[in-house]
Amino acid sequence: MASVALKSFVGLRKSQETSHASITTLSKTNQSSNLNYRRQSIMAAKTSPKINGRNLRVAIIGGGPAGGAAAETLAKGGVETILIERKMDNAKPCGGAIPLCMVGEFDLPLDIIDRRVTKMKMISPSNVAVDIGQTLKPHEYIGMVRREVLDAYLRDRAAAAGAQVINGLFIKMDKPTEKYAPYVLHYNAYDGKAGSTGVKTSVEVDAVIGADGANSRVAKSIDAGDYEYAIAFQERIKIPEEKMTYYENLAEMYVGDDVSPDFYGWVFPKCDHVAVGTGTVTHKPDIKKFQTATRLRARDKILGGKIIRVEAHPIPEHPRPRRLADRVALVGDAAGYVTKCSGEGIYFAAKSGRMCAEAIVEGSENGMRMVEESDLRKYLEKWDKTYWPTYKVLDILQKVFYRSNPAREAFVEMCADEYVQKMTFDSYLYKKVAPGNPLEDLKLAVNTIGSLVRANALRNEMAKI
C-alpha cells in the first residue's frame, strides 16, 4: 500500500518516497492566490501551536458543491488542500435549481446555467395549475444547472487556486492518538491505469471536511448518527424541440398522493432536455410508481420524449445529530443540509463548505497554526444562527400542507396570491427573510386559515364517500 510518511508531522512536509504503488504528492499552496485572499481577523485558539516549515494541511472528502467551495476557499486562504472525489462525472439526481444570489456569491459564469426560469406552474392533485413568477423583476430568475457541469466547474476552480484534486475512493480514516497528531486517510487512487479497484494509498492531514453526501463515510467515522432520508428518482427525457420550447423558461411542480405522499414531482428544464422526477421519505419502495404518476401527469407536454438517463440518490431530511468531532467537520448533504418542503440543497451545500473553510482559514491564521475543535465550531454556530429559522419554517410548511390532498389543494390555492409569491421568491432568490407588510401579513394569515378550513372540510367529505 502506498503511503505518505511524515518524520515529524507538525512542522515538516511529507517526504517524497517512491514505491511500486502510487504515492500522493501534495501540491504547494498557490502563492499568487494568497495575495488576493482577504486575511481574516479572528485568531486561532491560544493553545494551538504554530506550524513550522509547512502550512496547515486539510483534506476534503467529496467533490460536489460543498467540497468544491470548501477546497477553493482553503487554497486561497493559505491552507494546503487535498480534495478526494470518486466520480468526476457524477450526475446526481437533482432538480438543479439554484437561487439568483448563488450566481453572484460564488461568481458563477452564466454559460454553466442551462436555463433561467422566470415562470413556474404549481399543479394541484386535481390538476388545477397556478402560475407563479408574476412578481419577479426583469433581472430575476431561478437558475437551472446540471450537477456534473456545476461540480466540475467548482473543482476546476479549486484546482486553479492551488488545491490538489484526486480521483479516488475514500475508504477509512485513522483518528489521531495524540492531541495534534495527524489523521491518516486511506483511499483507492484511480489514475486510469490501475483498473477498477485503484491503488491503495494513504495521506496524513491536520483536519478533515466531510462533503461526501448522504451516505457519508466521514460521518460514520465520527459516529455522527443517522437521519431520515428521502429517495429522489429522476429521469432525463429528451423531448421534441417544439415541446422543449414550452419549457424554455418554465418549471413545473406537481403535488398529490399519486406523485408523492410527502414531497412533490417536478419537470425542470435543462440545456436540451427536461428532468422529470419525484421523491419520498415514507414510501421508498413505491418510488417508481410515483415516478410513473409524475410522467403521467405531464404526459401531454413530454409526449414523444426519450429517456436518456435514469438517476436515483438519497437526500437527507434534517441535520445529523453530530456534525463536528475534534478536527473533523461535516458539510452539505453529509451534514444533512437539505430543506424540507422544497428539497433545496445545492446552495446550502456550497455555502456550508465555504463557511467551514473560512472558519479553518481564520482559526489557523491563514494556514500558519494548527486548528482545534473550537475553531471549527464557529462554523456551526454561524450556520445555525443564519439558517436554522429557514429550515424550521419549511419543516412546518411541509407538515401542514403535504399531509393530505385537500391540504395540498389549499397550498396551491394560497400560491396564487401575489403577496405570497413575492415573499416566497424574495426569500428564495436572496436567502434572506423578506420584510413583510403587516396588513398583508394579516390578510395572508386569514386566507391561509380559510384555505385550511376548506381543505379540512373537503377531506371530511371525501372520507364519507
Which helix (H) or strand (E) segment holds residue 442: the answer is: helix 438-464
pLDDT digits (tens, 9 = 90+) for 105-156: 999 999 999 999 999 999 999 999 999 998 999 999 999 999 999 999 999 9
This prediction has a pTM of: 0.84
CA distance 447 to 433: 21
- Residue 202 maps to a domain: yes
Which helix (H) or strand (E) segment holds residue 446: the answer is: helix 438-464
Give residue 447's domain range.
Answer: 401-463
pLDDT digits (tens, 9 = 90+) for 89-116: 877 767 899 999 999 999 999 999 999 9
- Residue 173 maps to a domain: yes
CA distance 149 to 246: 24
CATH of the domain at 86: 3.50.50.60
Q: Give the other-Cβ count within 10 Å of 52's Cβ.
A: 10
Give the model's confidence band at 447: pLDDT under 50 very low, under 70 low, under 90 confident, else very high.
low
**Listed residues 346, 376, 400: the one ending a domain:** 400
Do 214 and 336 lie in a common domain?
yes
CA distance 249 to 247: 6
CA distance 79 to 348: 23
- In the DSSP assignment, the letter for residue 20 is S
* Total domains, the chain: 2
Give the model's confidence band at 419: pLDDT under 50 very low, under 70 low, under 90 confident, else very high.
confident
Find the angle CA(429)-CA(435)-CA(436) to the nearest 5 degrees: 110
Do 392 and 417 lie in a common domain?
no
Helix (H/G/I), strand (E/B), else coil: 2: strand
Do 175 and 73 lie in a common domain?
yes
Do 422 and 370 lie in a common domain?
no
How far, in whole angstroms, is CA 170 from its chain's centroid? 19
Res 26 pLDDT > 50? no
Do 355 and 430 lie in a common domain?
no
Q: Which of 44-53, 95-104, 446-455 has the lowest mean pLDDT?
A: 446-455
pLDDT of residue 455: 53
Q: Are strands 207-210 and 328-330 parallel, antiparallel or unpaired?
A: parallel
- DSSP codes of every residue in 45-59: PTTSPBP-SS--EEE
Do 407 and 373 lie in a common domain?
no
Lookup: cell for 305: 420524449
Lookup: cell for 336: 444533512
CA distance 57 to 85: 17
Average pLDDT over residues 371-376: 96
pLDDT of residue 192: 61
Find the angle CA(361)-CA(5)-CA(334) to the nearest 5 degrees: 45
- Residue 275 maps to a domain: no
Helix (H/G/I), strand (E/B), else coil: 405: helix
Phi and psi at 346, nearest 5°, equal -65, -50
Q: Give the other-Cβ count within 10 Å of 12's Cβ.
A: 13
Res 391 pLDDT > 90? no
- In the DSSP assignment, the letter for residue 27 is P
Q: Give the other-Cβ count within 10 Å of 127's Cβ.
A: 9
Do 411 and 380 lie in a common domain?
no
- Asked if 373 contacts 326 with a C-beta cutoff of 8 angstroms, the reply is yes
Give the model's confidence band at 435: pLDDT under 50 very low, under 70 low, under 90 confident, else very high.
low
